[in-house]
Amino acid sequence: MIVITSGSRYIDIDAYATCIGYRELLKLKGIEAKAITTAKLNESVTKSLLKLNIRLDEYKPQETDEFIVIDVSDKEYFDNIVKLDNIIEIIDHHVGFEEEWKQKLGEKSNIEFIGAVATIIVEAYENENLLDKMNSDVAYLLMAAILDNTLNFKAKITTERDKIAYEKLEKIVGNNEYSERYFLECQHDIEENLAEAISNDTKLDNINEIIPYVFGQLTVWDKKNIINNKKIIYDVLNSFGNEWMMNLICLKDGKSYIVCENPNVKTRLEKLMENKFIEDIMTLPEVWLRKEIIKKSKNK
């Protein structure tokens, strides 16, 4: 059996949508596959998306299973079910491991810096001349993934390919007013359990001497209620370690707000972002994704 999966700690809507979307594409080609995760789903996978008539599969591991890994290419973060020797394909938009997987998998390694992996999946349907066969529920999942990962097309990593893919999905579902409804639902789900939402989208990684080991991120339509509950942010992130940062993305403002209380981390981040903290908040003039901040730190 071909098993399509993603990361180990949590998966967002891009991973969720693309695992399911790629499974459906393979099925259209007559190839049996299952979309599986053992990780938590974060709040970008909204309740309405979970109610669609298309979802993840149940899974009983077999020795002969082959794996397609999507939205992650660092093997340290693969879902625990993945057997490294049985990987047959990698599809990702987080750069850094391109050469390693190109040597192992050749053309079956597709890693490129693009807004959303969902865009690559839409293009795969088109390359197979199967875009007109895409299930409308799959299209909604992929739309949400592109919106979330490009921050409603405001993130710097957004490409023309992301925009074109989204427009094609809009035609499939006949809905060109989906974005605000999606992000408001995400915010509602986040505010229902803010502590869990923060925990579910916190990256723990020794990246370099600039970025702290604990790096949280939340994307919301309106930051007000989150900022008013800063104590929850502090409590959750301090539970992981005393050096942390939070990237709070506010789509209504079109800005990122970096929250941090550790003086040493603040100093490093002020130098990196060429900006200043006012108390514990640094206001960036535009939206930044966590991976964009990490990429900037690696280029220093």
DSSP assignment string, 194-234:
HHHHHHHTEEE----SSS-SEEEEEEES--HHHHTTHHHHH
pLDDT digits (tens, 9 = 90+) for 183-228: 989 999 899 889 998 998 898 989 999 999 999 999 898 998 898 8
CB-based burial label for 132 (10 Å; 0-12, 13-18, 19+): exposed
Taking 70 as the pLDDT cut, the residues of the chain under it are none
Q: Which residues are CB-neighbours of 298 under 8 A, at least 6 positions away?
A: 207, 208
∠ CA 85-86-89, nearest 5°, is 110
Given this model, what pLDDT does residue 154 score?
Answer: 87
Distance, in Å, from the CA atom of 102 to the CA atom of 73, rounded to the nearest integer, reads 11
Residue in this structure with the two tokens 């974060």, named with its chain if needed = 42
pLDDT at residue 56, as a whole number? 96
**Bridge-based pairing state of the strands 87-92 and 214-220:** unpaired
pLDDT of 238: 95
Which pLDDT value is given to residue 113?
A: 87
Q: Give the pTM.
A: 0.82
φ and ψ at residue 193, rounded to 5 degrees? -145, 80
User: What does the alpha-carbon distance between residue 279 and residue 266 come to, in Å, rounded to a whole number?
Assistant: 10
